[in-house]
């Protein structure tokens, strides 16, 4: 994963390339989530402390579907 970053309280996430925008629904309206609020996640990173591009998420999914293999190398034990 080459386009992923960890979230911290001082980062600038407003203009990252290849990162999707988040939306939420409030009172029946679809609203855009403010990228400035992402900094709050650094307090509990297990709740989502990484921003990843869609290309990186594809790589992650392929890794999972391949049982922890990258090419011919078994990176993590297959369970």
Give 1-26 pLDDT, tens digit per residue. Answer: 777 777 777 777 767 777 767 788 99
Report the pLDDT value the prediction gives residue 79, as an integer from 0 to 100.
74
Query: Do residues 51 and 19 lie in contact, with contact meaning Cβ atoms separated by under 8 Å?
Result: yes
Tokens of 71: 């090419």
Q: Give the pLDDT confidence of 35-57 residue by residue, as tens digits.
A: 777 766 656 656 567 777 888 88
> Half-sphere exposure (CA, 13 Å, Cβ side) for 20?
8
Encoding tokens for residue 21?
């925008």
**Cβ proximity of 5 and 51 under 8 Å:** yes
Q: Is the pLDDT of residue 30 over 80?
A: yes
């Amino acid at each position: 994963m080459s386009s992923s970053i960890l979230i911290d309280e001082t980062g600038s996430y407003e203009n990252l390339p290849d990162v999707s925008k988040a939306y939420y629904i409030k009172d029946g309206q679809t609203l855009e989530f403010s990228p400035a609020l992402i900094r709050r996640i650094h307090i509990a990173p297990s709740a989502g402390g990484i921003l990843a591009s869609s290309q990186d998420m594809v790589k992650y999914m392929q890794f999972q579907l391949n049982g922890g293999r990258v090419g011919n190398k078994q990176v993590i034990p297959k369970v």
